[in-house]
Chains A and B, each alone.
Chain A
């Protein structure tokens, strides 16, 4: 390869790395102090860009000069910083003590709201930003033109790194940030005003996100999909670098930047996968990233979350369950086609949500990529039928087997980790599966997916298929429920509550978690298989992040402390979505707001609230079996 070309290409890589680093450093600092993985960081980045395309042209009207441009960029970043601080005061402050899963979901709610707000305020059309005055030209390097602005960006990245180092080492605020990153509780015990520290940190993090966004305006047309496209990449950078580590983010950004610049020459088609593969490899070898340290609080006893105590069904529960089953049996007789269709979807989603709950509530394994196994099941069924000419029946049997096999493969690496790194690795595997299905057009049909996945003729009518789905989902749910009540379920909960103690009494923690992961993946795969036959097609949206989030919301909405919660959650969530979507273009905003309200008001979900009520009205609580 031409040496001049190598220099130019690596400079391009450095420029991308520099932008990535500015944004990722904000995310990693916020995580270090608050322990919240802020999904809304991408939204702050997008807001920075939108503010800059509004403010900078106004300033350039006054004087078309580089200082004016930079002033506009800084102003936008400052406004975003204030928005971040407001977000801390209004929302995050209330959720520091809820489980990680709820925090992730609440920030995802913010993402949905900001997306619709941006469309409302700036419109859906992309907005081209102005170029930076005096940096429009190309600089000649070895006879090739290289944009001056990219060189400038490389410089800005280094300056930000230097300033952050000064801030962290030389100021009291920086010392406090580092202290809180190491041990938040100790900082609180020493009498530091936590409220200000956290608000200040969010301001700094949001400022950096906004700065990263504002600096992009001469390169990209500002658009409403910027947030999601940057956030996964920034996650990868922070996770590879080690969450909470600024130098780590810098090194990881450099690696990713160069990997993309040269990766596209060798593997032009799989750059998306490369990045997530790198993340998976790093997490498998170094579970806390390159520069991360094990969480100081990791060894401490924390209140377990999820299913705390098991209660056998009483008379009331049996009656409720019986009525529910009768209603379901009667639905195809009395409902119209549409209602039956929605009924099938609710059944399928209930099974998927139940399998996820099995992981989260019982096993304490917060999977952020559960859609992967749902999708693998769907693809397995769909491809077997359309490509290999299988009938529906064997395809439906093989779907959970194949999904279970993939869950076993990925789970082998996943269950070695814990907490947020585990969640990030599940996300990485889900994104790899997604990218393969999206980009491998020859096998999977790419984003077009595959159509013609219809049931065998005897099950072609919606009514018959409903009963088929009911039989499958009900037996799978009963089997999973049985596993929860069996010694296996107790061992799994023991492993969740204290891995060391469980280990001490002879439970093979890793193996039991691995087995749970596989079982759950297989159940999700069955749900996916049933889903594909009910829709007639498969496509990558079944594996995408929104699908994983939907499943999490169902679990959360139903309540993670009850066994049947996810079933209620799936039914409620699907009905709400079905109700809102035809009413308004802004249904995502409603969805986001509902998620946040749920996290704040009903952290125990619908089923949790219902069991609270029944307990209140129960005459004399039995001593055995009351929740701890």
Chain B
């Protein structure tokens, strides 16, 4: 597969991971004293495919960090809570973490609605929130607040990367397929806006918005093929994507067409495609075999040895997140919310 994965996402993530190395060189004595507690809220039961590798990597990093002296000489302790995949439950456990578990700040969440609700909660309670996974732009743009920081590039950023990668080809007739909810709709809208600016004569000849998790792949592929687009922008992922790709392969939808696709290169979504994996797509993702940065190689080796599995994007994110927490606290010199925010803002 031609992995035209845009480099920016990878480089951005690695920058964060690489940053930590100088700090770890000095202190080699295990951390002692009262642990610094960080509340981690995620969909461990409903979105286990993402959340379990993520938690594994955080725990792995936590052990490493604490063996090397923790932060400010104190060990880090991540307190994990299930958010039940609903904002209502998430806000309640956030309250519990802050009130009962005495955490210094909160982090995590997978679904965008959960992330937004927790971010609003953080704003109310004046406590820092690091949104690790949610992709929605609203988190840091329309509905952002000074207590919320994000780790992953948002939908807009990832769409922009794809547009930048494909605009030179001058393809005018496009078909779009996107799941019918905020993520899909905003990705499609961003794509249309950015492409219209980049390519004169750009037009969308077919748009399909299947309901999330319920794509009628045959009918969708048929409708797209009928419009005879020259390029296809895909936003579906997970089970919908697999169905779409199989049906499209059999019916020849992707032949002689440029396909750009959001998130498809993440191992979580790429592995299930198996032998059906199409060639030549332009995608965003996490090509862990191709990243040779020493810090990353060390992470991959350690992860594979410990869990006997290849790393997912979730694992990478969890690992980077844990080290980011350590560096943030070390730099801020305190776990006070204002000091943490100031440190983030200074970078």
Contact = CB atoms under 8 A, between A and B. Distances in A.
Interface of A: 2, 5, 8-9, 12-13, 15-16, 116, 119, 123-128, 131, 136-138, 144-147, 149-150, 218-221, 223-226, 229, 233, 260-261, 264-265, 268-269, 271-272, 336-338, 341-342, 345, 435, 438-439, 441, 445-449, 451-452, 454, 531, 535-537, 539-542, 578, 581-582, 585-588
Contacts of B136: 448
A547 to B, nearest CB: 8
A145 B185 contact: no
A338 B339 CA distance: 25
Given A221-B243, A449-B117, A535-B87, A439 B180 contact: yes
Give the one of A2, A271, A542 with max B CB within 10 A.
A271
B153 interface: no
A536 B183 CA distance: 22
A464 B47 CA distance: 36
B279 interface: no
Q: Which of B47, B92, B247 has the most CB of A within 10 A?
A: B92
Closest 5 CB pairs of A and B: A124-B48, A12-B218, A221-B242, A446-B182, A338-B99
Contacts of A225: 213, 239
B120 interface: yes
B87 A539 contact: yes
B57 to A, nearest CB: 16
A145 B218 CA distance: 11
B17 to A, nearest CB: 24
B49 A124 contact: yes
B211 interface: yes
A246 to B, nearest CB: 23
19 contacts: A124-B52, A125-B268, A147-B247, A226-B239, A271-B216, A337-B98, A338-B96, A341-B92, A439-B180, A439-B211, A447-B112, A447-B113, A448-B138, A451-B119, A451-B120, A537-B117, A539-B113, A541-B113, A582-B96
Contacts of B239: 126, 220-221, 223, 225-226
A542 B182 CA distance: 17
A158 B246 CA distance: 24
Interface string B283-309: 000000000000000000000000000
Contacts of A447: 111-113, 181-183
A446 B185 contact: yes
Contacts of A218: 246
A587 B252 contact: no
Interface string B189-208: 00000000000000000011
> Which of B81, B119, B182, B218 gathers the greatest number of chain A CB atoms within 10 Å?
B218
B156 to A, nearest CB: 14
B329 interface: no
Nearest to A139: B250
A125 B49 contact: yes
A535 B96 CA distance: 14
Given A221-B242, A535-B88, A451 B49 contact: no
Interface residues of B, number: 71
A531 to B, nearest CB: 8
B218 A537 contact: no
B346 to A, nearest CB: 27
Contacts of A438: 181
B95 interface: yes
A272 B219 contact: no
Nearest to A539: B113
Contact of B45 (A5, A233, A446, A586): A586
B216 A12 contact: yes
Given A119-B48, A125-B49, A268 B208 contact: yes
A394 B337 CA distance: 36
A541 B87 contact: yes
Given A119-B45, A441-B186, A581-B89, 12 more contacts: A12-B218, A16-B218, A221-B239, A261-B219, A447-B111, A448-B182, A451-B117, A578-B92, A581-B82, A582-B82, A585-B44, A585-B45
Contacts of B208: 264, 268
Q: SS class of chain B's interface: helix, strand, loop or mixed?
A: helix
A454 B91 CA distance: 13
Contact of B273 (A12, A128, A223): A128
Contacts of A145: 250-252
A479 B322 CA distance: 53
A12 B222 CA distance: 8
B213 A221 contact: no
A131 B243 CA distance: 12
A435 B211 CA distance: 9
Contacts of A116: 45
Contacts of B272: 125-128, 221
B185 A441 contact: yes
Interface in B108-165: 111-113, 116-117, 119-121, 124, 136, 138, 143
A454 B124 contact: yes
B223 interface: yes
B124 A536 contact: yes
Contact of B87 (A149, A221, A449, A454): A449
B84 interface: yes
Given A9-B219, A261-B222, A137 B250 contact: yes
Nearest to A546: B86
B23 to A, nearest CB: 32
B110 to A, nearest CB: 12
A489 to B, nearest CB: 32
* Residue from A124, A220, A531 with most neighbouring chain B CB atoms (10 Å): A124
Contacts of A542: 88
B211 A272 contact: yes
B10 interface: no
B242 A452 contact: no
Nearest to A119: B48
B219 A13 contact: yes
Interface string B66-107: 000000000000000110111111011101101110000000
B30 interface: no
Interface in B205-250: 207-211, 213-214, 216-220, 222-223, 225-226, 238-239, 242-243, 246-247, 250
B33 interface: no
B92 to A, nearest CB: 6
A136 B112 CA distance: 38
A138 B252 CA distance: 9
Contacts of B91: 535-537
Contact of A126 (B85, B89, B217, B242): B242
Contacts of B216: 12, 16, 260-261, 264, 271
Contacts of B182: 441, 445-448
A128 B276 contact: yes
A537 B181 contact: no
Contacts of B274: 128
B243 A220 contact: yes
Nearest to A116: B45
A338 B89 CA distance: 13
